């Protein structure tokens, strides 16, 4: 594992590139120059076409060629490799859901040999990752930890709980468990904030984290979910903990008109009164000549939620009596064999209007429960989250370069629940966060061959982002002023396949951001504008270079190790810093960004029917944004050095064609260093307790598939009560929780199927992790009791 820290340039000046970064940049230019000059005269090539059992082209199938470049098939199922020496070469093709196929082909000098390969249905370890390097690549070639949930797994978890936050929390090692609320507060990845994307469009609001970015679309429109763990320089602001990228549905290529209709119902099995919910989803998809389309609409209503004792769960920002609306459309047009355009739109709306109000309990004594009553204020949740994307893709540029150009817009508003008395402002009120992003992304990829000992490619481009975020009260008061950020970030990422089996990746990203803040006044904390401070606005500049490098050795399936180092950039929680200002000018407020250094080493291994992965990581930053109770119940960002360490283990076992088993374990711990030199633990908002998951799958017949899931969260007790005998906000102790969920699906015929899911199978009475560590009376709420979801699907 790397042991030397790589220091970024000054956060507020261009400066010089760090020494190691300069060397890497020089190497990138040198290798690219060598690639362009490389001679391939006198050699041959192979053109490969990959199809499935239905003879349809397979897109993004992984192709490995001995002695040549490896890669993935295009939208037509084709992959061409040139510059091969004359003689025999082995071609191996693999793809998720299909059996891998290997062929030996004779390459003739000066000729291109045509080869057609048809993959049979089955299984393969190879996965495709888009976000890791902004280009499709096999998961086993990525020198970092990656988790992927495919469409089948997402649907499996949807039958248990349709909340995306719950789906991820129950399955992804290193990610905190879901809160059973409309927010994902505390659901960090490896102890740091995660950047959430939908098809590359940022959903997170790092300038003021509203913790609603994970629940920004319905699982009915998800093709797969990619989770890239650890800080990354490939993407920008807010990716200190990693990336969650939701890939939306692709059009059906083999039909002009097809679709899926699903109907569902849900409710508490033990205490059913008023808990009935419903779900309806309709999708259409197809391809007509050059035009392809996907359209989906989903409505999901959750009834009253009750705990295992039958009490109504009416917690703030809860999911009981909430309605979700999701509208999605994607259009694609193939201009020619080498280029196409795509346009997509997604609207997500999730609000709660409850007939119950929260009767505040007592932390560690009795839970907060709901009783009938009127909740003043507007419905809480996410009134809307709009995503618009327009993209252009071309594969016919000089030097075999591919081009991806996209423009996007994201409009997001979140509404917090009305409170009779605010902890950070005077009087009652209801706050909402507003964030509007516009951006352009230019991404190019150029493959090359370096003499006879390696193949490679360079991915390079430019990101332009405008992010405007503020937080206001519905009565017009400004809680956090408008923050107008413009960020311009060029980047370059090299990938080199040395001697076929050693993958080297390295890259740079230059962040150049400016945040404009107009003159504002901090919100009053008493009558007659008491406690308000007038602050003169200004421009806050940020500039820094982040660097990443990694190695992965892929020769042996039984031992596939990697090491990596990567830096991340974030202007996290700037809003909290501005709202807590005690100075009267922006220039005198400490607003430096967070530069995260992530070191990681890990392996993946396949031995017969057993698949295992393991990773150990260290994440450090000279500045942090740990939110600490200031003594008055208000969370204030602490700008202190942070050190986080952890490890993750996964295992999957194929016991028989009918029986599978697997599980995972993740541990993370973190500390910050105070100005007096003392090291203190990071609180529960940042550090999750140990988490383990397990599953046992049984498929007695082809039509029936059943799985039992186990989710365990361990204990964490790092803080003492304060002088008043109470825990500070988010410093409460956490006790272990064991929960079991069940999912089953049955396929009646090719068109009709059903899915059954049961959450909290044994009706366990427990307090979720967030209810325990928050240590707040109003949020001391039990988890929901046994809840069943039944869905019927009709495909046509």
Which has more pLDDT, 277 or 633? 277
Query: 307 and 446 share a domain?
Result: yes
User: Residue 394 burial (CB < 10 Å; 0-12/13-18/19+)?
Assistant: middle
Mean pLDDT of 764-793: 96
33 in a domain, yes or no? no
Domain boundary among 94, 118, 142: 118
- pLDDT at residue 69 in the model: 65
- For residues 529 and 161, the model is more confident at 161
- CATH number of 205's domain: 2.40.170.20
User: Which one is predicted more confidently, 123 or 98?
Assistant: 98
Q: What is the mean pLDDT of the chain?
A: 89
pLDDT in tens, 166-224: 999 999 999 999 988 899 988 999 999 899 999 999 999 989 988 899 999 999 999 99
The pLDDT score that the predictor gives to residue 130 is: 64
* 123 located within any domain: no
Judgement on whether residues 320 and 233 belong to the same structural domain of the protein: yes
Question: Which residue in this structure is represented by tokens 């990101």?
Answer: 463
Judge if 191 and 91 occupy the same domain.
no
Q: What is the pLDDT of residues 462-509, one digit of tens each?
A: 999 999 999 999 999 999 999 999 999 999 999 998 877 899 999 999
pLDDT, average across residues 633-646: 84
Q: What is the CB neighbour count within 10 angstroms for residue 556?
A: 11
48 and 178 in one domain?
no
Question: How much is the pLDDT for 349?
Answer: 98
Same domain, 100 and 232: no
pLDDT at 118 over 50: yes
pLDDT tens, residue by residue, 337-357: 899 999 999 999 999 999 999
Q: What is the mean pLDDT of residues 228-251?
A: 86
> Which CATH number belongs to the domain containing residue 98 in this structure?
2.60.40.10
394 or 59, higher pLDDT:
394
Over residues 668-681, mean pLDDT: 92
The pTM of this model reads: 0.86
**Is there a contact between 501 and 553 (Cβ–Cβ < 8 Å)?**
yes
What percentage of the chain exceeds 90 in pLDDT? 65
Question: Quick one: 110 and 144 in the same domain?
Answer: no
Which of 245, 147, 150 is closest to 196 using CA atoms? 245
The residue among 118, 151, 170 that closes a domain is: 118
**pLDDT band at residue 522 under the 50/70/90 scheme:** very high
Q: Assign 423 to helix, strand or coil.
A: coil
Do 509 and 642 belong together in one domain?
Answer: yes
For the chain, the domain total comes to 2
> What pLDDT, on a 0 to 100 scale, did the predictor assign at position 375?
84
With a cut of 90, say whether residue 317 has pLDDT above it: no
- Asked if residue 622 is part of any domain, the answer here is yes
| Cβ(367)–Cβ(781) below 8 Å | yes
Is 3 inside any structural domain? no
- Per-residue model confidence as pLDDT tens digits over 701-729: 999 999 999 999 999 999 999 988 999 99
Residue with tokens 């003689």: 87
Q: Please tell me whether residues 84 and 139 are part of one structural domain.
A: no
Alpha-carbon distance values, 307 to 269, 315, 356, 507 (Å): 11, 12, 14, 50
CB-CB contact of 155 with 789 (8 Å): no
User: Tell me, what's the pLDDT at 103?
Assistant: 87
Asked if residue 8 belongs to a domain, the reply is: no
Q: Same structural domain for residues 109 and 219? A: no
> What pLDDT does residue 96 have?
60
Residue-range definition of the domain harbouring residue 68: 38-118
Q: Kindly indicate the confidence band of residue 785, based on its pLDDT and cuts at 50, 70 and 90.
A: very high
Taking the C-alpha atoms of residue 733 and residue 735, their distance in angstroms, rounded to an integer, is 7
Do 534 and 565 form a contact (C-beta atoms < 8 A)?
no
Domain boundary among 97, 118, 139: 118
Structure tokens at 150: 């495919």
Contact 545, 512 (CB under 8 A): no
**Within 10 Å of residue 715's Cβ, how many Cβ atoms?**
12
d(CA 234, CA 510): 10
**Average of pLDDT values for 82-105?**
81
- For residues 700 and 562, membership in a common domain is answered with yes
Residue 344 lies in a domain: yes
| Same domain flag for 104 and 243 | no
Q: What secondary structure, in 3-state letters, does 561-626 show?
A: EEEEEEEEEECCCHHHHHHCCCCCEHHHCCCCCEEEEEEEEEEEEEECCEEEEEEEEEEEECCCCE
Residues 514 and 568 in one domain: yes
Pull the structure tokens for residue 258: 């097809």
pLDDT above 70 for 4: no
Domain presence at residue 726: yes
714 falls within a domain: yes
Q: How confident is the model at residue 686 (pLDDT cuts 50, 70, 90)?
A: very high
């Amino acid at each position: 594992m790397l042991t030397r820290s790589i220091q970024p340039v000054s956060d507020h000046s261009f400066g010089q590139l760090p020494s190691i970064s300069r060397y890497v940049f020089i190497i990138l230019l040198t290798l690219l120059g060598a690639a362009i000059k490389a001679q391939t005269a006198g050699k041959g090539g192979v053109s490969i076409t990959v199809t499935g059992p239905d003879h349809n082209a397979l897109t993004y199938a992984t192709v490995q060629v001995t002695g040549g470049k490896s890669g993935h098939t295009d939208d037509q199922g084709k992959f061409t490799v040139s510059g091969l020496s004359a003689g025999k070469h082995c071609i191996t093709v693999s793809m998720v859901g299909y059996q891998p196929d290997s062929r030996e082909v004779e390459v003739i000098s000066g000729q291109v040999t045509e080869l057609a390969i048809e993959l049979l249905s089955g299984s393969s370890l190879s996965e495709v990752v888009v976000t890791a390097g902004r280009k499709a690549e096999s998961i086993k070639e990525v020198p970092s930890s990656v988790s992927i949930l495919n469409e089948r797994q997402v649907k499996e978890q949807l039958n248990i709980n349709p909340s995306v936050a719950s789906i991820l929390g129950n399955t992804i090692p290193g990610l905190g468990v879901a809160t059973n609320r409309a927010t994902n507060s505390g659901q960090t990845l490896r102890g740091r904030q995660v950047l959430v994307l939908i098809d590359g469009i940022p959903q997170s609001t790092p300038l003021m984290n509203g913790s609603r970015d994970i629940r920004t679309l319905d699982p009915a429109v998800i093709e797969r979910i990619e989770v890239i763990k650890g800080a990354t320089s490939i993407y920008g602001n807010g990716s200190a903990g990693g990336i969650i990228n939701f890939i939306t549905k692709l059009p059906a290529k083999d039909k002009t008109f097809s679709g899926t209709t699903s109907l569902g119902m849900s409710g508490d099995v033990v205490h059913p009164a008023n808990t009935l919910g419903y779900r309806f989803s309709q999708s259409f998809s197809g391809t007509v000549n050059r035009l392809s389309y996907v359209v989906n609409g989903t409505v999901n209503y959750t009834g009253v939620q009750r705990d295992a004792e039958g009490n109504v769960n009416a917690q703030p920002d809860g999911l009981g009596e909430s309605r979700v609306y999701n509208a999605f459309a994607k259009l694609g047009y193939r201009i020619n064999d080498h280029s196409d355009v795509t346009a997509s739109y997604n609207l997500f709306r999730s609000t709660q209007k409850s007939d119950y109000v929260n009767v505040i309990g007592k932390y560690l004594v009795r839970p907060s429960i709901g009783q009938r009553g009127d909740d003043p204020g507007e419905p809480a949740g996410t009134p809307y989250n709009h995503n618009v994307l327009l993209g252009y893709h071309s594969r016919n540029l000089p030097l075999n370069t591919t081009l991806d150009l996209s423009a996007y817009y994201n409009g997001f508003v979140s509404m917090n629940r009305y409170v009779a008395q605010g902890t950070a402002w005077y009087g009652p009120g209801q706050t909402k966060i507003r964030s509007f992003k516009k951006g352009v992304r230019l991404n190019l990829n150029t493959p090359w061959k370096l003499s006879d000992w390696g193949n490679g490619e360079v991915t390079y481009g430019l990101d332009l982002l405008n992010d405007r975020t503020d937080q206001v009260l519905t009565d017009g008061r400004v809680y956090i002023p408008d923050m107008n950020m413009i960020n311009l970030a060029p980047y370059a990422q090299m990938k080199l396949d040395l001697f076929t089996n050693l993958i080297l990746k390295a890259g740079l990203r230059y962040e150049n951001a400016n945040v404009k803040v107009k003159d504002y006044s901090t919100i009053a904390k008493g009558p007659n504008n008491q406690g308000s401070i007038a602050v003169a606005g200004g421009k806050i500049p940020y500039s820094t270079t982040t660097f990443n490098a990694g190695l992965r050795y892929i020769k042996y399936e039984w031992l596939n190790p990697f090491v990596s180092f990567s830096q991340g950039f974030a202007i996290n929680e700037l809003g909290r810093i501005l709202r807590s200002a005690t100075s009267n000018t922006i220039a005198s407020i400490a607003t430096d960004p967070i530069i995260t250094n992530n070191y990681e080493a890990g392996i993946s291994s396949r031995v017969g029917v057993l698949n295992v992965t393991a990773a150990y990581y260290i994440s450090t930053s000279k500045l942090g944004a740990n939110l600490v109770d200031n003594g008055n119940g208000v969370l204030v960002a602490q700008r202190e050095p942070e050190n986080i360490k952890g490890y993750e283990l996964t295992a999957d076992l194929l016991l028989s064609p009918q029986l599978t088993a697997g599980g995972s374990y993740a541990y993370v711990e973190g500390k910050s260093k105070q100005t007096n030199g003392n090291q203190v633990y990071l609180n529960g908002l940042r550090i999750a307790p140990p988490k383990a998951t397990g599953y046992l799958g049984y498929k007695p017949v082809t039509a029936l598939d059943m799985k039992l899931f186990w989710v365990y969260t361990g204990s964490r007790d790092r803080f003492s009560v304060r002088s008043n005998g109470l825990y500070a906000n988010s410093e409460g102790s956490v006790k272990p929780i064991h929960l079991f969920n069940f999912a089953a699906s049955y396929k009646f015929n090719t068109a009709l199927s059903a899915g059954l899911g049961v959450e909290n199978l044994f009706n366990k009475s427990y307090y979720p992790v967030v209810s325990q560590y928050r240590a707040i009376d109003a949020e001391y709420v039990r988890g929901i009791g046994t809840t069943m979801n039944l869905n019927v699907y009709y495909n046509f």
